[in-house]
Amino acid sequence: MAGTRDAILGAAERVIREHGAARATTRLIAKEAGYSEATLYKHFSDKHELFLSVLTRQTPEFGRLMDRLEQRAGGAPVREVLEEVARTAIGFYTRAVPLGTSLFSEARLLQDYRARLSEWGVGPHVPVDGLAAYIAAERDRGRLRPGTDARAAAALLLGACFQQAFFSHLTDALRAADDPAADPAPALVATLLDPLLPDPAGQGRPLQDR
């Protein structure tokens, strides 16, 4: 049964990407999945539940990383951790943006999705909260400047990741994915992190040497 459900969700994601939410009918999704509409309705009560399930299945990998992030404070270099966060965030946002924009094509779908986020206690603010907690923990350990605004830093990095992902769907100007120089994470992190590093003269070795 799980295999059938996963196949339907995969088909729904492909159809939404290709046709948009408004034109992604259950008939089209069932055809893409290779099942009847009756099979689809055994797993999902209606189109809205199906769409919500597609949208929420994007969360796990990114969510798991952010959930355990604060626990990694004091371990690996901050630069290394933030680059991992940036790469994971860009991948998540790149995949989620086409689906997320579909929410705005149907008012009820957007309303239902917001209600589900509230019910589950999740939403776009959660990754920012997790990253801010990690940055604050590193600041308190002296690995970042004392005056570092953890939440602002988290919002700046994740906002830049979202912009990178969003623009990738709108322009061919970005480097090809197989280009080694295409990874934007190091530059994004360096621009954010370097001004936040402790003063080597006053607080020991630079962060990148720790």
* CATH number of the domain enclosing 17: 1.10.10.60
126 and 98, same structural domain? yes
Residue 42's pLDDT is 92
Helix axis angle, 125-140 to 150-168, nearest 10°: 140
64 and 52, same structural domain? no
The mean pLDDT of the chain is 84
181 and 99, same structural domain? yes
Residue 152: closest CA among 93, 184, 192: 192
Q: Indicate whether 49 pLDDT > 90.
A: no
Of 10, 33, 57, the residue at which a domain comes to its end is: 57
**Angle at the Cα of 10 from the Cα atoms of 2 and 105, rounded to 5 degrees:** 125
103 and 49, same structural domain? no
78 and 37, same structural domain? no
- Position 89 confidence tier, pLDDT thresholds 50, 70, 90: very high
Average pLDDT over residues 78-97: 92
Residue 110's pLDDT is 79
20 and 106, same structural domain? no
Coil, helix or strand at residue 121: coil
50 and 66, same structural domain? no
**Angle at the Cα of 129 from the Cα atoms of 67 and 118, rounded to 5 degrees:** 85
As for how many domains the chain has, the answer is 2
Which CATH number fits the domain that encloses residue 94? 1.10.357
Domain region containing 68: 59-209
Of 35, 57, 79, the residue at which a domain comes to its end is: 57
Q: Is the pTM of this model over 0.95?
A: no
